[in-house]
Amino acid sequence: MKILIVGAGATGGYFGARLADAGRDVTFLVREQRAQFLRARGLRVTGLERELRVEPKVATAGHLGGIFDVVLLTVKAAGLKSAIADVAPAVGPDTVIVPFLNGMAHMEALAAAFGAEKVLGSVVHLVGTIDAEGDVAVLRPLARWTLGEQGGGASDRVVQLVAEVSVPGIDVVSAENGLEAMWQKWVFIVSAGVVTCLMRGPVGDIAAVAGGAEFVAEVVAEAAAVAGAAGFPVPPGEQAETVAFLTEAGSAFTSSLYRDVTAGLPNEGEHIVGDFARRARGLGVATPLVDLALLQLRVHEAGMVRG
The pLDDT of 55-71, averaged and rounded, is 95
What is the rounded radius of gyration, in angstroms, for the C-alpha atoms of the chain? 19
- pLDDT averaged over every residue in the chain: 94
Q: What is the pLDDT of residue 268?
A: 86
**306: confidence class by pLDDT, cuts 50, 70, 90:** low
| pTM over cut 0.85 | yes
Residue pair 43/8 in contact (Cβ under 8 Å)? The answer is yes
Strands 43-46 and 52-54, sheet pairing? antiparallel
Q: Mind listing the pLDDT tens digit for each residue in 178-200?
A: 999 999 999 999 999 999 999 99
Q: What is the pLDDT of residue 256?
A: 85
Q: Could you give the percent of the chain with pLDDT greater than 70? A: 99
Kindly tell me if the per-residue pLDDT of 307 is higher than 60.
no
Domains of the chain, with CATH numbers? 2-142 (3.40.50.720), 181-306 (1.10.1040.10)
Question: Could you give the CA distance from residue 106 to residue 104 in angstroms, rounded to a whole number?
Answer: 6
Exposure string for 245-265, b = 16+ CB within 10 A, e = fewer: bbbeeebebbbbbbebbeeee
Q: What is the pLDDT of residue 141?
A: 81
